[in-house]
Structure 1
Amino acid sequence: METPSRPRASLRTAVVWEVLKDALDRRAAGGVLQVLDAGGGSGKFAVEVARLGHHVTVVDPSPNALFALERRAAEAGVADLVRGVQGDTQGLFEVAEHGAYDAVLCHGVLEYLEDPAAGVRNAVDALRPGGVLSLLVAGLGGAVLARALAGHFTEARQALTDPAGHWGASDPVPSRFTPDQLSELVTGAGLEVQAVHGVRIFADLVPGVLVDAEPGALEALFRLEEAAAALPAFHSVAGQLHVLARRG
Protein backbone atom coordinates (compact mmCIF):
# COMPACT_ATOMS: atom_id res chain seq x y z
CA MET A 1 0.00 0.00 0.00
CA GLU A 2 2.94 2.28 -0.62
CA THR A 3 2.34 3.39 -4.21
CA PRO A 4 -0.52 3.52 -6.66
CA SER A 5 1.33 1.03 -8.91
CA ARG A 6 -0.43 -1.97 -7.38
CA PRO A 7 -3.23 -4.40 -8.25
CA ARG A 8 -6.58 -2.75 -8.80
CA ALA A 9 -8.02 -4.31 -5.63
CA SER A 10 -5.52 -2.35 -3.52
CA LEU A 11 -6.71 0.87 -5.12
CA ARG A 12 -9.83 0.56 -2.99
CA THR A 13 -7.83 0.96 0.23
CA ALA A 14 -5.09 3.30 -0.97
CA VAL A 15 -6.81 6.52 0.14
CA VAL A 16 -7.51 5.10 3.60
CA TRP A 17 -3.91 4.01 3.99
CA GLU A 18 -2.52 7.42 3.04
CA VAL A 19 -4.76 9.16 5.59
CA LEU A 20 -4.03 6.58 8.30
CA LYS A 21 -0.27 6.60 7.75
CA ASP A 22 -0.15 10.39 8.04
CA ALA A 23 -2.15 10.28 11.29
CA LEU A 24 0.12 7.59 12.76
CA ASP A 25 3.25 9.49 11.79
CA ARG A 26 1.96 12.62 13.49
CA ARG A 27 0.89 10.71 16.59
CA ALA A 28 4.16 8.79 16.85
CA ALA A 29 6.55 11.73 16.35
CA GLY A 30 9.40 9.26 16.01
CA GLY A 31 8.21 6.90 18.75
CA VAL A 32 6.55 3.49 18.74
CA LEU A 33 2.77 3.25 18.98
CA GLN A 34 0.46 0.62 20.41
CA VAL A 35 -2.23 0.00 17.77
CA LEU A 36 -5.40 -2.08 17.99
CA ASP A 37 -7.01 -3.41 14.82
CA ALA A 38 -10.53 -4.51 15.77
CA GLY A 39 -11.83 -6.95 13.19
CA GLY A 40 -8.52 -6.75 11.34
CA GLY A 41 -8.86 -10.16 9.70
CA SER A 42 -5.77 -11.34 7.83
CA GLY A 43 -3.89 -8.13 8.53
CA LYS A 44 -4.07 -6.08 5.36
CA PHE A 45 -3.66 -2.89 7.37
CA ALA A 46 -2.05 -4.36 10.48
CA VAL A 47 1.04 -5.58 8.66
CA GLU A 48 1.49 -2.23 6.93
CA VAL A 49 1.25 -0.48 10.30
CA ALA A 50 3.81 -2.89 11.74
CA ARG A 51 6.13 -2.09 8.84
CA LEU A 52 6.19 1.45 10.20
CA GLY A 53 7.66 0.02 13.41
CA HIS A 54 4.54 0.00 15.58
CA HIS A 55 3.13 -2.82 17.73
CA VAL A 56 -0.23 -4.06 16.47
CA THR A 57 -2.82 -6.24 18.19
CA VAL A 58 -5.41 -7.72 15.83
CA VAL A 59 -8.71 -8.91 17.29
CA ASP A 60 -10.80 -11.08 14.98
CA PRO A 61 -13.34 -13.87 15.49
CA SER A 62 -12.00 -16.06 12.66
CA PRO A 63 -9.19 -18.55 13.41
CA ASN A 64 -8.52 -18.85 9.68
CA ALA A 65 -8.07 -15.09 9.35
CA LEU A 66 -5.69 -15.05 12.31
CA PHE A 67 -3.68 -17.89 10.78
CA ALA A 68 -3.41 -15.90 7.55
CA LEU A 69 -2.39 -12.86 9.62
CA GLU A 70 0.43 -14.81 11.24
CA ARG A 71 1.68 -15.99 7.86
CA ARG A 72 1.43 -12.50 6.30
CA ALA A 73 3.30 -10.90 9.20
CA ALA A 74 6.06 -13.53 8.97
CA GLU A 75 6.44 -13.02 5.22
CA ALA A 76 6.72 -9.27 5.79
CA GLY A 77 9.33 -9.72 8.50
CA VAL A 78 7.21 -8.13 11.25
CA ALA A 79 6.02 -11.20 13.17
CA ASP A 80 7.51 -9.79 16.36
CA LEU A 81 5.35 -6.67 16.06
CA VAL A 82 1.98 -8.28 15.28
CA ARG A 83 -0.16 -10.23 17.72
CA GLY A 84 -3.44 -11.92 16.76
CA VAL A 85 -6.16 -12.59 19.33
CA GLN A 86 -9.47 -14.35 18.75
CA GLY A 87 -12.41 -12.17 19.80
CA ASP A 88 -14.90 -9.63 18.51
CA THR A 89 -15.69 -5.95 18.83
CA GLN A 90 -18.71 -6.45 21.07
CA GLY A 91 -16.63 -8.37 23.63
CA LEU A 92 -13.50 -6.37 22.92
CA PHE A 93 -12.31 -6.00 26.51
CA GLU A 94 -12.31 -9.71 27.09
CA VAL A 95 -9.14 -9.76 24.99
CA ALA A 96 -7.96 -6.12 24.86
CA GLU A 97 -7.21 -3.43 27.43
CA HIS A 98 -9.09 -0.24 28.27
CA GLY A 99 -7.27 2.97 27.38
CA ALA A 100 -4.10 1.22 26.22
CA TYR A 101 -3.83 2.13 22.54
CA ASP A 102 -2.58 5.15 20.62
CA ALA A 103 -4.72 4.23 17.62
CA VAL A 104 -7.65 1.93 16.96
CA LEU A 105 -8.61 0.68 13.52
CA CYS A 106 -12.20 -0.46 13.00
CA HIS A 107 -12.59 -1.23 9.30
CA GLY A 108 -15.56 -3.06 7.81
CA VAL A 109 -17.00 -3.96 11.20
CA LEU A 110 -19.83 -1.59 12.15
CA GLU A 111 -22.06 -2.66 9.25
CA TYR A 112 -22.24 -6.16 10.77
CA LEU A 113 -23.06 -5.12 14.35
CA GLU A 114 -26.57 -5.02 15.78
CA ASP A 115 -25.53 -1.98 17.83
CA PRO A 116 -22.98 0.09 15.86
CA ALA A 117 -22.96 2.81 18.53
CA ALA A 118 -21.79 0.28 21.13
CA GLY A 119 -19.04 -0.81 18.75
CA VAL A 120 -17.81 2.77 18.41
CA ARG A 121 -17.93 3.26 22.19
CA ASN A 122 -15.77 0.17 22.69
CA ALA A 123 -13.25 1.48 20.18
CA VAL A 124 -13.16 4.83 21.97
CA ASP A 125 -12.75 3.20 25.39
CA ALA A 126 -9.69 1.37 24.06
CA LEU A 127 -7.97 4.66 23.15
CA ARG A 128 -5.52 6.62 25.22
CA PRO A 129 -6.19 10.37 25.56
CA GLY A 130 -5.24 11.98 22.27
CA GLY A 131 -5.49 8.65 20.47
CA VAL A 132 -6.94 8.34 16.98
CA LEU A 133 -9.74 6.19 15.61
CA SER A 134 -9.81 5.07 11.98
CA LEU A 135 -13.34 4.03 11.08
CA LEU A 136 -14.29 2.55 7.69
CA VAL A 137 -17.87 1.54 6.87
CA ALA A 138 -20.09 0.70 3.91
CA GLY A 139 -21.65 3.79 2.32
CA LEU A 140 -25.33 3.93 1.46
CA GLY A 141 -25.09 6.15 -1.61
CA GLY A 142 -22.48 4.01 -3.30
CA ALA A 143 -24.61 0.89 -2.95
CA VAL A 144 -27.69 2.63 -4.37
CA LEU A 145 -25.69 3.92 -7.33
CA ALA A 146 -24.06 0.54 -7.98
CA ARG A 147 -27.38 -1.34 -7.98
CA ALA A 148 -28.95 1.23 -10.30
CA LEU A 149 -26.06 1.15 -12.78
CA ALA A 150 -26.28 -2.65 -12.81
CA GLY A 151 -29.93 -2.38 -13.83
CA HIS A 152 -31.32 -3.48 -10.46
CA PHE A 153 -33.60 -0.49 -9.99
CA THR A 154 -35.97 -2.08 -7.47
CA GLU A 155 -33.05 -3.10 -5.28
CA ALA A 156 -31.57 0.40 -5.58
CA ARG A 157 -34.83 1.93 -4.40
CA GLN A 158 -35.08 -0.63 -1.59
CA ALA A 159 -31.61 0.33 -0.33
CA LEU A 160 -32.47 4.00 -0.59
CA THR A 161 -35.63 3.67 1.51
CA ASP A 162 -34.56 0.96 3.97
CA PRO A 163 -33.42 2.36 7.36
CA ALA A 164 -30.37 0.11 7.27
CA GLY A 165 -29.61 0.64 3.58
CA HIS A 166 -30.28 -3.04 2.86
CA TRP A 167 -31.29 -3.85 -0.73
CA GLY A 168 -32.71 -7.36 -0.34
CA ALA A 169 -32.52 -10.87 1.06
CA SER A 170 -29.32 -11.68 -0.84
CA ASP A 171 -27.57 -8.47 0.24
CA PRO A 172 -24.42 -9.57 2.14
CA VAL A 173 -24.12 -6.27 4.04
CA PRO A 174 -26.64 -5.84 6.89
CA SER A 175 -26.24 -2.07 7.30
CA ARG A 176 -24.90 0.95 5.46
CA PHE A 177 -24.34 4.53 6.55
CA THR A 178 -24.66 8.07 5.26
CA PRO A 179 -21.90 10.59 6.06
CA ASP A 180 -24.16 12.29 8.62
CA GLN A 181 -25.00 9.02 10.35
CA LEU A 182 -21.35 8.08 10.62
CA SER A 183 -20.32 11.48 11.95
CA GLU A 184 -23.11 11.33 14.54
CA LEU A 185 -21.87 7.94 15.75
CA VAL A 186 -18.38 9.32 16.19
CA THR A 187 -19.27 12.61 17.86
CA GLY A 188 -21.87 10.84 20.01
CA ALA A 189 -19.05 8.73 21.44
CA GLY A 190 -17.15 11.87 22.43
CA LEU A 191 -14.62 12.01 19.62
CA GLU A 192 -13.57 14.98 17.53
CA VAL A 193 -13.83 14.33 13.79
CA GLN A 194 -10.53 15.17 12.09
CA ALA A 195 -11.35 14.15 8.52
CA VAL A 196 -14.02 12.43 6.44
CA HIS A 197 -13.19 10.73 3.15
CA GLY A 198 -15.17 8.97 0.48
CA VAL A 199 -13.62 5.67 -0.59
CA ARG A 200 -14.26 3.61 -3.72
CA ILE A 201 -16.05 6.51 -5.38
CA PHE A 202 -15.08 5.45 -8.89
CA ALA A 203 -13.07 2.25 -8.45
CA ASP A 204 -16.11 -0.04 -8.14
CA LEU A 205 -17.94 1.55 -11.06
CA VAL A 206 -15.28 1.78 -13.75
CA PRO A 207 -15.16 -1.41 -15.90
CA GLY A 208 -11.87 -3.25 -15.50
CA VAL A 209 -11.33 -3.37 -19.24
CA LEU A 210 -11.03 0.42 -19.32
CA VAL A 211 -8.34 0.37 -16.65
CA ASP A 212 -6.39 -2.55 -18.09
CA ALA A 213 -6.45 -1.44 -21.72
CA GLU A 214 -4.67 1.89 -21.41
CA PRO A 215 -1.17 2.41 -19.98
CA GLY A 216 -1.24 4.67 -16.95
CA ALA A 217 -4.99 4.31 -16.45
CA LEU A 218 -4.65 2.75 -13.00
CA GLU A 219 -2.41 5.59 -11.85
CA ALA A 220 -4.88 8.13 -13.24
CA LEU A 221 -7.80 6.39 -11.51
CA PHE A 222 -5.91 6.44 -8.22
CA ARG A 223 -5.25 10.16 -8.58
CA LEU A 224 -8.92 10.76 -9.35
CA GLU A 225 -9.99 8.82 -6.25
CA GLU A 226 -7.45 10.74 -4.18
CA ALA A 227 -8.65 14.11 -5.47
CA ALA A 228 -12.34 13.36 -4.88
CA ALA A 229 -11.99 11.58 -1.53
CA ALA A 230 -11.96 14.69 0.65
CA LEU A 231 -14.68 16.56 -1.27
CA PRO A 232 -18.05 16.42 0.57
CA ALA A 233 -19.93 16.46 -2.75
CA PHE A 234 -18.67 12.93 -3.46
CA HIS A 235 -19.15 11.42 0.01
CA SER A 236 -22.81 10.68 -0.65
CA VAL A 237 -21.96 8.39 -3.59
CA ALA A 238 -18.93 6.62 -2.13
CA GLY A 239 -18.90 2.86 -1.75
CA GLN A 240 -17.27 3.29 1.65
CA LEU A 241 -16.86 6.13 4.11
CA HIS A 242 -13.76 6.73 6.21
CA VAL A 243 -13.64 8.89 9.32
CA LEU A 244 -10.50 9.77 11.22
CA ALA A 245 -11.29 11.03 14.71
CA ARG A 246 -9.38 11.94 17.86
CA ARG A 247 -10.07 11.35 21.53
CA GLY A 248 -9.68 14.54 23.52
Structure 2
Amino acid sequence: MVWEVLKDALERRAKATGREAVGGEAVHGALDVLDTGGGSGNFAVPVARLGHHVTVVDPSPNALFALERRAAEAGVADRVRGVQGDAHGLFDVAERGGYDVVLCHGVLEYVDDPAEGLRNAAAALRPAGTLSVLAAGLGGAVLARALAGHFTEARQALTDPEGRWGSGDPMPRRFTADQLSELVTAAGLEIAAVHGVRVFADLVPGVLVDTEPGALDALLQLEEAAAELPAFRSVATQLHVLAERD
Protein backbone atom coordinates (compact mmCIF):
# COMPACT_ATOMS: atom_id res chain seq x y z
CA MET A 1 0.00 0.00 0.00
CA VAL A 2 2.89 2.35 0.75
CA TRP A 3 4.18 1.73 -2.76
CA GLU A 4 0.83 2.65 -4.33
CA VAL A 5 0.69 5.91 -2.35
CA LEU A 6 4.30 6.69 -3.22
CA LYS A 7 3.83 5.90 -6.89
CA ASP A 8 0.89 8.29 -7.10
CA ALA A 9 2.92 10.99 -5.33
CA LEU A 10 5.79 10.52 -7.77
CA GLU A 11 3.43 10.82 -10.70
CA ARG A 12 1.90 14.03 -9.34
CA ARG A 13 5.32 15.52 -8.63
CA ALA A 14 6.60 14.61 -12.09
CA LYS A 15 3.60 16.25 -13.74
CA ALA A 16 3.98 19.36 -11.60
CA THR A 17 7.63 19.74 -12.60
CA GLY A 18 7.08 18.81 -16.25
CA ARG A 19 9.61 16.00 -15.91
CA GLU A 20 7.54 12.90 -16.44
CA ALA A 21 8.92 9.46 -17.19
CA VAL A 22 7.41 7.73 -20.23
CA GLY A 23 7.55 3.98 -20.69
CA GLY A 24 10.22 3.63 -18.05
CA GLU A 25 12.50 6.08 -19.88
CA ALA A 26 13.47 9.31 -18.18
CA VAL A 27 12.38 12.53 -19.86
CA HIS A 28 14.52 15.58 -19.07
CA GLY A 29 16.06 13.59 -16.21
CA ALA A 30 12.67 12.79 -14.63
CA LEU A 31 12.74 13.23 -10.83
CA ASP A 32 15.69 13.26 -8.48
CA VAL A 33 14.83 11.04 -5.51
CA LEU A 34 16.77 10.59 -2.26
CA ASP A 35 16.20 7.40 -0.27
CA THR A 36 17.65 7.77 3.22
CA GLY A 37 18.29 4.44 4.89
CA GLY A 38 17.23 2.81 1.62
CA GLY A 39 19.16 -0.39 2.28
CA SER A 40 19.11 -2.94 -0.51
CA GLY A 41 16.67 -0.98 -2.65
CA ASN A 42 13.19 -2.24 -1.78
CA PHE A 43 11.82 1.14 -2.86
CA ALA A 44 14.76 2.61 -4.76
CA VAL A 45 14.79 0.02 -7.54
CA PRO A 46 11.02 0.19 -8.27
CA VAL A 47 11.27 4.00 -8.28
CA ALA A 48 14.16 3.81 -10.75
CA ARG A 49 12.15 1.45 -12.94
CA LEU A 50 9.61 4.26 -13.32
CA GLY A 51 12.39 6.28 -14.95
CA HIS A 52 13.55 8.40 -12.01
CA HIS A 53 17.08 8.85 -10.65
CA VAL A 54 17.58 7.61 -7.09
CA THR A 55 20.37 8.26 -4.59
CA VAL A 56 20.38 5.78 -1.71
CA VAL A 57 22.12 6.73 1.55
CA ASP A 58 22.68 3.85 3.96
CA PRO A 59 25.28 3.12 6.66
CA SER A 60 25.63 -0.57 5.71
CA PRO A 61 28.19 -1.55 3.03
CA ASN A 62 26.48 -4.94 2.70
CA ALA A 63 23.12 -3.32 2.00
CA LEU A 64 24.68 -1.04 -0.61
CA PHE A 65 26.34 -4.03 -2.28
CA ALA A 66 22.96 -5.78 -2.43
CA LEU A 67 21.46 -2.56 -3.83
CA GLU A 68 24.04 -2.47 -6.62
CA ARG A 69 23.31 -6.08 -7.53
CA ARG A 70 19.54 -5.61 -7.43
CA ALA A 71 19.70 -2.48 -9.57
CA ALA A 72 21.86 -4.27 -12.14
CA GLU A 73 19.48 -7.23 -12.29
CA ALA A 74 16.55 -4.84 -12.81
CA GLY A 75 18.39 -2.99 -15.59
CA VAL A 76 18.43 0.35 -13.76
CA ALA A 77 22.05 0.52 -12.57
CA ASP A 78 22.49 3.82 -14.44
CA ARG A 79 19.64 5.39 -12.41
CA VAL A 80 20.58 4.19 -8.91
CA ARG A 81 23.54 5.48 -6.90
CA GLY A 82 24.38 4.15 -3.47
CA VAL A 83 26.51 6.07 -0.97
CA GLN A 84 27.48 5.18 2.57
CA GLY A 85 26.18 7.59 5.20
CA ASP A 86 23.40 8.25 7.70
CA ALA A 87 20.68 10.76 8.54
CA HIS A 88 22.91 12.65 10.99
CA GLY A 89 25.60 13.41 8.42
CA LEU A 90 23.26 13.41 5.45
CA PHE A 91 24.77 16.44 3.73
CA ASP A 92 28.23 14.95 3.82
CA VAL A 93 27.06 12.66 1.02
CA ALA A 94 23.85 14.24 -0.34
CA GLU A 95 22.95 17.65 -1.77
CA ARG A 96 21.01 20.08 0.38
CA GLY A 97 17.87 21.21 -1.45
CA GLY A 98 18.66 18.96 -4.40
CA TYR A 99 15.79 16.44 -4.55
CA ASP A 100 12.20 16.40 -5.73
CA VAL A 101 11.22 13.52 -3.45
CA VAL A 102 12.85 12.20 -0.26
CA LEU A 103 12.09 8.82 1.30
CA CYS A 104 12.67 8.37 5.02
CA HIS A 105 11.54 4.80 5.60
CA GLY A 106 12.54 2.82 8.67
CA VAL A 107 14.99 5.50 9.80
CA LEU A 108 13.42 7.48 12.65
CA GLU A 109 13.12 4.41 14.86
CA TYR A 110 16.92 4.05 14.95
CA VAL A 111 18.48 7.52 14.84
CA ASP A 112 19.57 9.25 18.04
CA ASP A 113 17.52 12.35 17.26
CA PRO A 114 14.38 11.80 15.11
CA ALA A 115 13.69 15.54 14.93
CA GLU A 116 17.14 16.17 13.46
CA GLY A 117 16.69 13.29 11.03
CA LEU A 118 13.45 14.79 9.74
CA ARG A 119 14.90 18.29 9.56
CA ASN A 120 17.70 16.96 7.37
CA ALA A 121 15.27 15.05 5.18
CA ALA A 122 13.17 18.20 4.75
CA ALA A 123 16.24 20.30 4.00
CA ALA A 124 17.16 17.92 1.19
CA LEU A 125 13.94 18.78 -0.65
CA ARG A 126 13.58 21.28 -3.43
CA PRO A 127 10.73 23.82 -3.09
CA ALA A 128 7.36 22.04 -3.28
CA GLY A 129 9.14 18.71 -2.87
CA THR A 130 7.52 15.61 -1.36
CA LEU A 131 8.61 13.66 1.72
CA SER A 132 7.55 10.08 2.44
CA VAL A 133 8.02 8.92 6.04
CA LEU A 134 7.46 5.35 7.22
CA ALA A 135 7.97 4.47 10.89
CA ALA A 136 6.97 1.88 13.49
CA GLY A 137 3.58 2.47 15.11
CA LEU A 138 3.05 2.26 18.85
CA GLY A 139 -0.56 1.02 18.74
CA GLY A 140 0.27 -2.02 16.66
CA ALA A 141 2.93 -3.17 19.11
CA VAL A 142 0.66 -2.70 22.14
CA LEU A 143 -2.15 -4.63 20.49
CA ALA A 144 0.15 -7.44 19.33
CA ARG A 145 1.64 -7.96 22.81
CA ALA A 146 -1.81 -7.94 24.42
CA LEU A 147 -3.26 -10.45 21.95
CA ALA A 148 -0.25 -12.70 22.61
CA GLY A 149 -1.09 -12.66 26.31
CA HIS A 150 1.86 -10.45 27.29
CA PHE A 151 -0.24 -7.90 29.14
CA THR A 152 2.55 -6.45 31.27
CA GLU A 153 4.68 -5.86 28.18
CA ALA A 154 1.72 -4.29 26.39
CA ARG A 155 1.24 -1.84 29.27
CA GLN A 156 4.99 -1.15 29.36
CA ALA A 157 4.97 -0.23 25.66
CA LEU A 158 1.93 1.96 26.19
CA THR A 159 3.59 3.98 28.95
CA ASP A 160 7.23 3.93 27.86
CA PRO A 161 8.46 7.24 26.32
CA GLU A 162 9.99 5.34 23.41
CA GLY A 163 7.14 2.87 23.05
CA ARG A 164 9.25 -0.17 23.96
CA TRP A 165 7.80 -3.20 25.72
CA GLY A 166 10.99 -4.21 27.54
CA SER A 167 14.74 -4.75 27.36
CA GLY A 168 14.28 -7.54 24.81
CA ASP A 169 12.36 -5.32 22.41
CA PRO A 170 14.29 -5.15 19.12
CA MET A 171 12.69 -1.83 18.14
CA PRO A 172 14.44 1.21 19.66
CA ARG A 173 11.49 3.57 19.24
CA ARG A 174 7.86 3.71 18.10
CA PHE A 175 5.49 6.57 17.32
CA THR A 176 1.84 7.48 17.48
CA ALA A 177 0.31 9.18 14.46
CA ASP A 178 0.22 12.47 16.38
CA GLN A 179 3.87 12.22 17.40
CA LEU A 180 5.01 11.49 13.88
CA SER A 181 2.83 14.26 12.44
CA GLU A 182 4.22 16.76 14.95
CA LEU A 183 7.79 15.88 13.97
CA VAL A 184 6.96 16.36 10.30
CA THR A 185 5.27 19.73 10.77
CA ALA A 186 8.08 20.89 13.08
CA ALA A 187 10.46 20.24 10.19
CA GLY A 188 8.54 22.85 8.18
CA LEU A 189 6.45 20.52 6.04
CA GLU A 190 2.72 20.38 5.36
CA ILE A 191 1.10 16.99 5.84
CA ALA A 192 -0.81 15.67 2.84
CA ALA A 193 -1.88 12.28 4.21
CA VAL A 194 -1.37 9.87 7.11
CA HIS A 195 -1.87 6.13 6.60
CA GLY A 196 -1.88 3.13 8.87
CA VAL A 197 0.11 0.26 7.38
CA ARG A 198 -0.41 -3.39 8.32
CA VAL A 199 -3.46 -2.72 10.46
CA PHE A 200 -4.66 -6.32 10.21
CA ALA A 201 -1.96 -8.21 8.32
CA ASP A 202 0.26 -8.91 11.34
CA LEU A 203 -2.69 -10.12 13.42
CA VAL A 204 -4.19 -12.57 10.93
CA PRO A 205 -2.89 -16.19 11.06
CA GLY A 206 -0.86 -16.80 7.92
CA VAL A 207 -2.54 -20.13 7.30
CA LEU A 208 -5.85 -18.36 6.70
CA VAL A 209 -4.35 -16.14 4.02
CA ASP A 210 -2.47 -19.04 2.42
CA THR A 211 -5.36 -21.51 2.25
CA GLU A 212 -8.52 -19.44 1.82
CA PRO A 213 -9.20 -18.60 -1.87
CA GLY A 214 -9.15 -14.86 -2.46
CA ALA A 215 -8.17 -14.11 1.14
CA LEU A 216 -5.01 -12.18 0.27
CA ASP A 217 -6.77 -9.83 -2.14
CA ALA A 218 -9.59 -9.33 0.36
CA LEU A 219 -7.07 -8.56 3.12
CA LEU A 220 -5.32 -5.99 0.92
CA GLN A 221 -8.62 -4.33 0.12
CA LEU A 222 -9.45 -4.22 3.82
CA GLU A 223 -6.07 -2.66 4.60
CA GLU A 224 -6.64 0.02 1.96
CA ALA A 225 -10.13 0.78 3.26
CA ALA A 226 -8.91 1.20 6.85
CA ALA A 227 -5.59 2.92 6.18
CA GLU A 228 -6.74 6.54 6.53
CA LEU A 229 -9.34 6.02 9.25
CA PRO A 230 -7.96 7.38 12.56
CA ALA A 231 -9.53 4.59 14.62
CA PHE A 232 -7.64 1.94 12.66
CA ARG A 233 -4.38 3.67 11.84
CA SER A 234 -3.91 4.16 15.59
CA VAL A 235 -3.38 0.39 15.93
CA ALA A 236 -1.29 -0.10 12.78
CA THR A 237 2.10 -1.78 12.89
CA GLN A 238 3.55 1.06 10.82
CA LEU A 239 2.60 4.65 10.08
CA HIS A 240 3.12 6.38 6.76
CA VAL A 241 3.10 10.16 6.41
CA LEU A 242 3.19 11.96 3.07
CA ALA A 243 4.17 15.62 3.35
CA GLU A 244 5.15 18.51 1.11
CA ARG A 245 7.51 21.43 1.40
CA ASP A 246 6.03 24.86 0.70
- Length-normalised TM-score, structure 1: 0.93
- Letter of the 2:5 counterpart: V
Matched, 1:96 2:94: yes
The one of 63, 68, 71 aligned to 2:69: 71
Partner of 2:6: 20
Partner of 1:7: none
Q: Distance in 2 between matches of 1:226 and 1:70?
A: 32
Q: Distance in 1 between matches of 2:106 and 2:220?
A: 21
Q: Distance in 2 between matches of 1:235 and 1:215?
A: 27
Matched, 1:51 2:49: yes
Partner of 1:4: none
Gaps of 5+ in 1: 1-14
Q: Distance in 2 between matches of 1:77 and 1:113?
A: 32
What SS does the aligned partner of 1:110 have? coil
The one of 174, 187, 203 aligned to 2:172: 174
Q: Distance in 2 between matches of 1:114 and 1:90?
A: 9
Alpha-carbon displacement from aligned partner over 1:29-62 (angstroms, at most 9, x marks no partner): 1250000000000000000100110000000000
The one of 122, 125, 128 aligned to 2:123: 125
What SS does the aligned partner of 1:182 have? helix
- Letter of the 1:82 counterpart: V
Aligned length, in residue pairs: 234
What SS does the aligned partner of 2:243 have? strand
Partner of 1:220: 218
- What is the 5 A alignment of 1:31-50? 31=27, 32-50=30-48
- Letter of the 1:114 counterpart: D
Alpha-carbon displacement from aligned partner over 1:73-93 (angstroms, at most 9, x marks no partner): 111111110000000011100
Q: Distance in 1 between matches of 2:221 and 2:51?
A: 27
- Letter of the 2:31 counterpart: L
Shift of 1:189: 0.8
Partner of 2:155: 157
- Length-normalised TM-score, structure 2: 0.94
Gaps of 5+ in 2: 21-26
Alpha-carbon displacement from aligned partner over 1:100-142 (angstroms, at most 9, x marks no partner): 0000000010011121000000000000000000000000000
Shift of 1:235: 1.4
- Letter of the 2:219 counterpart: L
Partner of 1:185: 183
Root mean square deviation of aligned Cα: 0.7
The one of 107, 110, 122 aligned to 2:108: 110
Structure 1 residue runs of 4+, over 3 Å off?
none
- Report percent identity of matched pairs: 80
Q: Distance in 2 between matches of 1:121 and 1:190?
A: 8
Partner of 2:82: 84
- Letter of the 2:7 counterpart: K
Bigger relative contact order, structure 1 or 2 (CA pairs below 8 A, ≥6 apart) = 1
